[in-house]
Amino acid sequence: MAEYKLTTPLTDDDIVKLKAGDVVFLSGIIYSARDAAHKKLFELLDAGKELPFDLAGSAIYYVGPSPAPPGRPIGAAGPTTSYRMDTYAPRLHALGMKASIGKGKRSDEVKAAMKEHTGVYFGATGGAGALLSNSITKSTVIAFDELGPEAVREMHVEDFPLLVINDSHGGELYAVPDREAAGIK
């Protein structure tokens, strides 16, 4: 396992060097979007309209943060379960998204899209939303304010701690090892 410091927007060169199990400290701008926001983003795409942010090189964090306490840009910002966005992720990868951030496993379709379009899936530590929020220096709602915590946010991050779960080569941290080869009975 290796450790990397990356900055958005992400490039193919950034992504291809990553392997499942690597640690990444991500800086730059990431966008929040959960189920309801993804539905609205796809309504815009289907209508031929522009999205509220550029997908090229983007990272989307599946998060619905809690309200910001006084003096902080955001409240607790822990990941939500990613499979709920699996119907949307392949198309977003095809349109330029380079990374998604969440928790849990991804579908075979998402993994295939990451291989085809040089993408990566990062895991953020579930249950550590307050700790993760320390890496978010600015958070601004940029679309769908009516969705409350599920609105799309532009978030500035510094050394946001992530783990590569699925890489662009088909590697998966959650893959079940060959039990016999691993000496597991």
Beta bridge partners of 103: 81
C-alpha distances (whole Å) from 106 to each of 20, 52, 98, 176, 185 are 13, 25, 15, 14, 27
Percent of residues, the chain, with pLDDT higher than 70: 95
Task: Judge whether residue 170 has pLDDT over 80.
Answer: yes
C-alpha distances (whole Å) from 59 to each of 47, 139, 143 are 23, 15, 16
Taken in order of first residue, the domains within the chain and their CATH numbers are 3-138+162-166 (3.20.130.10)
Task: Judge whether residue 88 has pLDDT over 90.
Answer: yes
Q: pLDDT tier at 181 (50, 70, 90 boundaries)?
A: low
38 assigned to active site = yes
pLDDT of amino acid 127: 83
Span 178-185, average pLDDT? 52
Burial (CB count within 10 angstroms: exposed 0-12, middle 13-18, buried 19+), residue 145: exposed
Task: Judge whether residue 182 has pLDDT over 60.
Answer: no
- The residue to which tokens 């799309």 are assigned: 152
Give the pLDDT confidence of 19-78 residue by residue, as tens digits: 999 999 999 999 999 999 999 999 999 999 999 999 999 999 999 999 999 999 999 999
Which residue in 38, 93, 117, 156 is the catalytic one?
38
- The residue to which tokens 């309801």 are assigned: 36
Q: Are 65 and 129 in contact (CB under 8 A)?
A: yes
Task: Judge whether residue 179 has pLDDT over 70.
Answer: no
Q: Are 128 and 45 in contact (CB under 8 A)?
A: no
Span 101-113, average pLDDT? 97
Long-range interactions of 103-107: CB distance < 8 A, separation 24+: 103/62, 103/79, 105/174, 106/82, 106/165, 106/166, 107/83
